[in-house]
Amino acid sequence: MKDRKDYVKKIVESDMRIDERGLLDFREMKVETGVVSSAEGSARVTIGKTQVLVGIKMSVGKPFPDTPAEGVMMVGVEFSPIASPDFEPGPPSPEATEVARVVDRGIRESKCIDLEKLCITENEEVWMISIDIHVLNHDGNLMDASSLGAIAALLNTQIPKCENGKAVFGEYSGKLPIRDKPIEVTINKISNKFLIDPCLEEEEAVDARLTFALNEKDDICAMQKGGKGHFTVDEIKRALEIATEKSKQIRSLIS
């Protein structure tokens, strides 16, 4: 395994990649929406061989005490054993929890959803949004794929009708109130080189990564650093420039 990581590093240090892409090129990317008929919204995102499925379910519940007039949003990620031999059944792994938190933070901090419009009766009833992300196949870059799938599914979501405090599934009152479309782009560092959208083999050789969540105005909504390596201030600035440029490319897929 170490020999393979060293090989990947040497390839990247020579400005090449094992699949012959440029360092800042995405693999083929595809977004499909409305793929789960039993969900209020859904999307399937494919990036190379990586594939995630996102379903949105809505229900009526009580608001949080500190936000009595706002709807509630929750994000969950499941790493199914069928997606990778490294995934095991059971409670969410630290890696799955990290993906869920990063996706949640990008949506929440961008004010993507107008949660106030999801209030039914203040202090009593609000719409609750569950974003369930299922990894179908893992070949790297789950953070960006999961975030893109979540946004695509939210844009596809319809709000059920509400009668006597319960959702009437199959009957809808309108679309989910979306105010922004945040896009997450992860910049990976191997030695002193930056690359995006690593396949799994490249990802295992990454020294450090920075995930940026950017709104439609190119403002940073959230950041997450991973890996044992570091970024200098100048490297962070360069990484942000790359992420900003690439976010426009990704956003075009869901515009």
3-24 pLDDT, tens digit each: 888 899 999 999 999 999 999 9
Amino acid (1-letter code) at residue 165: G
Across-strand partners of 190? 193
Q: Which pLDDT score is estimated for 64?
A: 95
Q: Residue range 229-241: average pLDDT? A: 97
Top pLDDT among 48 and 2 is at: 48
Q: What per-residue confidence (pLDDT) applies to 1?
A: 60
pLDDT band at residue 77 using 50, 70 and 90 as cut-offs: very high
CA-wise closest residue to 64 among 56, 55, 74, 78: 74
Contact 147, 212 (CB under 8 A): no
Other Cβ atoms less than 10 A from the Cβ of 123: the count is 11
Helix, strand or coil, per DSSP, at residue 60: strand
* Number of other residues whose CB lies within 10 A of the CB of residue 254: 17
The phi-psi region of residue 34 (left if phi > 0; otherwise alpha if psi is between -120 and 50; otherwise beta) is: left
3-state secondary structure of 78: strand
Span 70-77, average pLDDT = 97
Domains, the chain: 2-251 (3.30.230.70)
pLDDT single digits (tens) 42-70: 999 999 999 999 999 999 999 999 999 99
- Whole-angstrom Cα Rg for the chain: 19
Neighbours of 224 (CB within 10 A): 18
Q: How confident is the model at residue 83 (pLDDT cuts 50, 70, 90)?
A: confident
Distance (Å, whole) CA 87 – CA 157:
29
| Per-residue model confidence as pLDDT tens digits over 87-112 | 888 778 889 999 999 999 999 999 99
Q: What is the mean pLDDT of the chain?
A: 94
Give backbone dihedrals phi and psi of 171, rounded to 5 degrees, phi first.
-120, 135
CB contact at 8 A, 197 and 243 = no
- Check if the beta carbon of residue 119 is closer than 8 Å to that of residue 69: yes
Q: How far apart are CA 30 and CA 38, in angstroms?
A: 22
Instruction: Report the candidate in 31, 42, 40 with the shortest Cα–Cα distance to residue 158.
Output: 40
pLDDT per residue as tens digits for the range 187-208: 999 999 999 999 999 999 999 9
In the structure, what pLDDT confidence band is assigned to residue 164 with cuts at 50, 70 and 90?
confident
Is 90 exceeded by the pLDDT of residue 165?
Answer: no
Element (DSSP H or E) covering residue 147:
helix 142-155
Distance, in Å, from the CA atom of 185 to the CA atom of 132, rounded to the nearest integer, reads 20
